[in-house]
Structure 1
Amino acid sequence: MNLLHTVLPAILLSTLPATTAFAETSPQSEVITTADIDWGYLNPLRGDKSPGAANLWGDRTQNVPTGMLVKFNKGFSSPPHIHNITYRGVVIEGKMHNDDPDAATMWMPTGSFWTQPAGENHITAANGEDNLIFLEIDSGPYLVKPSSEQFDNGERPINLHQSNLVWLDQTDTKSINGNNAEITALWGSNKVGELGGAMIKLPANFSGTLTSDAEEFRAIVIKGSLNYQSVETPNSKGLTAGSYFGSNGKFSHNVTTSAQGTMVYIRTNGKYQVAEK
């Protein structure tokens, strides 16, 4: 698929957690700061030997789309295993490796993206002092199974190092209307009603809006921080890496960045635009 066409999906992550569904008759939004996050374990039976996990929306134990944070201790390395469903991952902090058990190690830093197909045998390892990723599934539950149950579902894995992302600016796409703001497509479709994922990069001291008209719009702060406001959040909130905001229907999210700029992952099934004030 042409990268420019793929890039046009919405910029803000739509749909909100299953725990607080949007009303069907009017736009709604949700904001979750890192202070709001309730941590548990990815595999509760293993206790503190398991990676930490926290749902941002949905429920990883049920058959629903879910977005979650997962954190790993330095030196973590899983045994070879498979999952029953496909997932996507974005590195927020640290260095992550995810590949076939015999593959050479490639440590992926902040902003890197990968997909893990259902049934594909692999290992996951972490090598930063602190390691945090965003992980999303389109259906569930999210389960870990032994390699002996591996199968080929027809998909192929992607490991996209942050240095290999291809960024487009306002001269390349109508989704961007702001000097030095950029976007890169990661997966999916740009057609209204079909899901797609992208990353946007907002420059230092950016002040503007992320406007969406989507049934589902979700955004995760991946790098840096921003101040957030909307008609439903009139008091500014500081969102650091790992924070989340989303909406459905026609909605505008007002954001300003710090001196270091910000990277945001977007999941949506509608159109969107990044506009500088």
Structure 2
Amino acid sequence: MKKWITSLLAIVCAMSNSIQAIASDIEEKQETKIVLLSDIEWEPLNPARGDSSPKAGTLWGNRAGAEATGFLAKFVDGFSSPPHIHNVTYRAVVISGEIHNDDPNAEKMWMSRGSFWTQPKGEAHITAARGEENIALVEIDEGPYLVQHTHDAFDSGERAVNIDASNIVWVTPPGLNPSKTGPKVAYLWGILEAGLDNGTFIKLPAGFVGYIHSTGSIFRVVTIEGQPVYLEDEEIKLAPGSYFSSSGDSMHSIRSGPDQDSIFYVRTNGPYRIIPASSQE
């Protein structure tokens, strides 16, 4: 029995060393961009509203340009916008505080951290926020991102989606054994096939140490919850609102905080794998 256990431990150790070797080889070749929340440069989201406008901080792209863009929107406590429309559809995730986004006449439905919603282009709506700090991730597939009057409202055929954090459905990612305490993913939008854009959540349990291996030409990750650490030459704390990205074959070494699960929003166009550094998952 002892001989069998010793052999098994040797195999596990060899597998772990092999993963680390592969990760090191990939990491040497990849280019990873990291934007910390503390590095964000804030500016008015809607300059026409002056000081009453929410703030915006770009993570990738350019809201005023034509390309796909991701930015953080920050609202003061008690903020409520006038009814308005946008010329493009956006998706959003609550990072802190509580946010309401719906038809101007709808009852308030406050969405907390980890909630996901979409706002179709052309549809009249309001956005409101409450809490000491209210931040949301907003992404668009193409720009520019404009705020327009409801006189120009139109029906694009799209319908809004509001998913509270309590209604997110978590499943075990491919390649891992089902476990209540292991890594989880949640599928939000798009088609999970190579070359097609999609959005998911990743949940890494407290104390997790391992890798996220991506092969998509687009791989963008924003911290939504927790205090994860990105392990490079030095440890980089990824506070909620922080962002990292890569392109092509890439390996990202992540450690989740000891006392709280880490949740990330992932936008990609290729498959990715979650690889624990140990064999416990």
Same-fold call, TM cutoff 0.5: yes
Counterpart pick for 2:51 among 48, 53, 70: 48
Judging by fraction of residues, say which structure has more strand.
1
Unaligned segments of structure 1, at least 5 residues: 1-25
Aligned to 1:273: 273
Judging by fraction of residues, say which structure has more helix.
2
Q: Mapping of 1:4-83 within 5 angstroms?
A: 27-83=30-86
RMSD between superposed Cα atoms in Å: 1.5
Unaligned segments of structure 2, at least 5 residues: 1-28
Aligned to 1:189: 191
Q: Secondary structure at the match of 1:214?
A: coil
Aligned to 1:236: 235
Q: Secondary structure at the match of 1:127?
A: strand
Deviation at 1:175, TM superposition (A): 7.3
Deviation at 1:44, TM superposition (A): 2.0
Query: Identical aligned pairs, as a percentage?
Result: 47
- Separation (CA, whole Å) in 2 of partners of 1:176 and 1:37: 38
Deviation at 1:46, TM superposition (A): 2.3
Aligned to 1:225: 227
Q: Secondary structure at the match of 1:215?
A: coil
Question: Contact 1:51/1:73 (CA < 8 Å) preserved in 2?
Answer: yes
State the TM-score, normalized to the length of structure 1: 0.86
One-letter identity of the residue aligned with 2:203: K
Q: Mapping of 1:159-238 within 5 angstroms?
A: 159-170=162-173, 173-174=174-175, 180-229=182-231, 233-238=232-237
Deviation at 1:177, TM superposition (A): 8.6
Counterpart pick for 1:114 among 114, 117, 121: 117
Q: Secondary structure at the match of 1:126?
A: strand
- Separation (CA, whole Å) in 2 of partners of 1:78 and 1:89: 16
For these two proteins, the number of residue pairs brought into alignment is: 247
Q: Deviations over 1:99-142 (max 9, x none)?
A: 00111110000000000000011110001121000000000000
- Separation (CA, whole Å) in 2 of partners of 1:203 and 1:63: 37
Q: Mapping of 1:113-132 within 5 angstroms?
A: 113-132=116-135
Cα distance change, pair 210–235 in 1 and its aligned pair in 2 (3 A): same
Structure 1 residue 249 and structure 2 residue 251: aligned?
no
Aligned to 1:264: 264
Deviation at 1:224, TM superposition (A): 1.0
